[in-house]
């Protein structure tokens, strides 16, 4: 593979971010007028919600809404593309809500218009937008892999990933409104069931990847990370159309709590970043063994990858599903193909030091949020069930996930954990995380059984 193609695919920091720091503004410095304008826009939106919908919120929900304003403004200052995403998704969602109202105002609406209004039916109703998200993520995955021989394809992979995040975020916002259109007791923040959190997982993982792509000025990891997102997409589509999971349902009593608005997003930031770290760990092992001719050294990587591909087949039902048997076969072939082509792939991946750094940062961020989510979950449990901890299967496996990554960070910070062991551990951690995410719901009943398959 030519050095010209290699250089084009890696892309310079200037081409991706404007400078080597990974931030298009260089050092962030003081907020400028655009940051102030964004803060005022968020404040106006929060004020509108409090003025016209405040009676539907309790004091805690109002506090969350008010607190979200400086939080989102701060995030928009840290990473400006996120600010653009929030504005575009918000405007599109408001347009969809206006279409539902038939032009009579945002407070009105008819859910049946999703079948008669063209833009709603095919583009920006929640289900349409989420389906577009799914298609865009799969196309982005293909483009990132083609990007190893075409700089244009790699660039298109980034564009499609951003488009998928935009479509999915819009879909989630519109779904929130659609629930309220179905009935006053049905509407809720769309993070309450397996369908909705799968969408959330895909969006969070994609967003963190896009941040690291920009921060480290490389698109070479896109194919690896988008594989786990595409896997989530496949599961989401299967779950949607075999179980009608996309239908908006009333909340079960235990979920009618403002704690859900904090606990679930924090939890899935953990899941998303742990998954990202696992795929970066996979890339690390490919890079490290890029020039080796011994398949014996690669056997553990292939076995671990194949086991991860087999998990949906195990979790989907108690009987073997042809869909997931096919998924397992295709997934194992993809893992094998990546290892077979490890030479040219490894030459385009970032250095081992950069891969190790991304893996560490992703796990550190995920661990912090997962810790917060676990504490919030305990407080929620005390509020809902009268006890902070009851060794429910979901709680137990959440603790196992926490201990796994606590041990990884402990070994990293105190014992200097680096290299292939850290990568294998991060990749194996995805097995533990996915069992806590799905396996518990499938095999173990408990207080969290409302999320079962």
Residue 109 has a pLDDT of 87
**pLDDT for 386:** 81
pLDDT given at position 360: 97
Average pLDDT across the chain, whole number = 87
> Is 132 contained in some domain?
no
Q: Which range (11-25, 81-95, 268-282, 298-312) has the least confidence?
A: 11-25
Q: How far apart are CA 70 and CA 66, in angstroms?
A: 8
Q: Does residue 318 register a pLDDT over 60?
A: no
Over residues 344-401, the pLDDT tens digits come to 999 999 999 999 999 999 999 999 999 999 999 999 888 877 888 888 888 889 999 9
Residue 25, pLDDT score:
38
Burial class (CB in 10 A: 0-12, 13-18, 19+), 55: exposed
Full domain range(s) for residue 221:
214-243+257-453
Least confident of 184-188, 273-277, 403-407: 184-188
What is the DSSP track for 204-230?
Answer: HHHHHHHHHHHHHT--TTHHHHHHHHH
- The CA-atom distances, in angstroms, between 203 and each of 137, 169, 341, 352 are 10, 7, 29, 27
**What pLDDT sits at residue 348?**
94
Over residues 261-273, the mean pLDDT reads 94
46-93 confidence digits (pLDDT tens): 999 999 888 888 898 899 999 999 999 999 999 999 999 999 999 999
Per-residue pLDDT averaged across 233-261, rounded?
Answer: 87
d(CA 311, CA 181): 37
Q: Could you tell me the pLDDT band of residue 444, with boundaries at 50, 70 and 90? A: low
Q: Phi then psi for 7, rounded to 5 degrees? A: -65, -40
Q: What is the mean pLDDT of residues 2-27?
A: 38
Of 34-43, 44-53, 291-300, which gets the smallest average pLDDT? 291-300
Assigned domain for 421 exists: yes
Whether 103 is covered by a domain: the verdict is no
Per-residue pLDDT at 13 exceeds 50: no
Q: Is residue 51 part of a domain?
A: no
**44-187-265-223 Cα dihedral, nearest 10 degrees:** -100
Q: Is the pLDDT of residue 257 over 90?
A: no
**At which residue do the structure tokens 């293909």 appear?**
142
Contact 220, 347 (CB under 8 A): no
Look at residue 267 and tell me if it is in a domain: yes
Count: domains in the chain: 1
* pLDDT at residue 159 is higher than 70: yes
Residue 234 falls within a domain, yes or no?
yes
CA dist., res. 76 & res. 82, Å (int): 6
Task: Tell me the pLDDT tens digit for each residue of 82-103.
Answer: 999 999 999 999 999 999 998 7
Establish if 158 belongs to a structural domain: no
Q: Is the residue at 20 inside a domain?
A: no
């Amino acid at each position: 593979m030519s050095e010209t193609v290699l250089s084009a695919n890696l892309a310079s920091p200037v081409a991706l971010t404007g400078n080597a720091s990974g931030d298009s503004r260089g050092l962030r410095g003081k907020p400028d007028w655009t940051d102030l304008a964004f803060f005022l826009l968020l404040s106006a939106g929060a004020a509108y919600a409090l003025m016209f919908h405040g009676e539907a919120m309790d004091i805690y929900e109002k506090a969350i809404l008010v607190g979200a304003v400086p939080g989102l403004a701060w995030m928009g200052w840290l990473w400006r593309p996120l600010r653009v995403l929030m504005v575009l998704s918000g405007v599109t969602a408001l347009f969809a809500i206006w279409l539902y109202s038939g032009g009579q105002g945002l407070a009105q609406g008819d859910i049946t218009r999703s079948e008669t209004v063209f833009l709603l039916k095919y583009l920006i109703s929640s289900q349409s937008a989420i389906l577009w998200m799914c298609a865009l993520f799969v196309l982005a995955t293909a483009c990132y892999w083609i990007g190893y021989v075409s700089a244009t394809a790699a660039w298109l992979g980034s564009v499609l990933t951003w488009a998928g995040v935009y479509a999915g975020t819009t879909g989630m916002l519109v779904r929130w409104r659609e629930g309220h259109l179905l009935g006053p007791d049905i509407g809720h923040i769309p993070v309450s069931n397996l369908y909705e959190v799968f969408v959330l997982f895909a969006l969070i993982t994609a967003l963190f990847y896009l941040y690291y792509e920009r921060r480290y000025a490389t698109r070479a990891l896109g194919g690896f990370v988008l594989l786990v997102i595409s896997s989530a997409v496949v599961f989401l589509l299967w779950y949607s159309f075999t179980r009608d999971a996309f239908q908006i349902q009333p909340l079960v009593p235990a979920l009618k709590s403002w704690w859900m608005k904090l606990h679930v997003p924090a939890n899935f930031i953990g899941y998303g970043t742990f998954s990202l770290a696992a795929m970066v760990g996979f890339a690390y092992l490919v890079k490290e063994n890029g020039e080796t001719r011994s398949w014996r050294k690669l056997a553990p990587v292939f076995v671990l990858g194949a086991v991860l591909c087999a998990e949906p087949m195990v979790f989907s039902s108690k009987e073997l599903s042809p869909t997931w048997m096919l998924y397992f076969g295709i997934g194992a072939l993809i893992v094998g193909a990546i290892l077979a082509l490890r030479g040219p792939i490894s030459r385009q991946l970032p250095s081992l030091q950069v891969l190790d750094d991304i893996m560490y940062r992703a796990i550190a961020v995920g661990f912090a949020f997962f810790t917060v989510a676990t504490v919030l979950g305990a407080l929620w449990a005390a509020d809902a069930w009268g006890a902070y901890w009851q060794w429910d299967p979901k709680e137990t496996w959440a603790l196992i996930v926490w201990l796994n990554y606590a041990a990884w960070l402990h070994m990293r910070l105190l014992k200097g954990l680096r290299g292939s062991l850290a990568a294998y551990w991060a990749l194996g951690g995805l097995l533990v995380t996915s069992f806590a995410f799905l396996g518990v719901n499938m095999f173990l009943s408990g207080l969290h059984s409302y999320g079962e398959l």
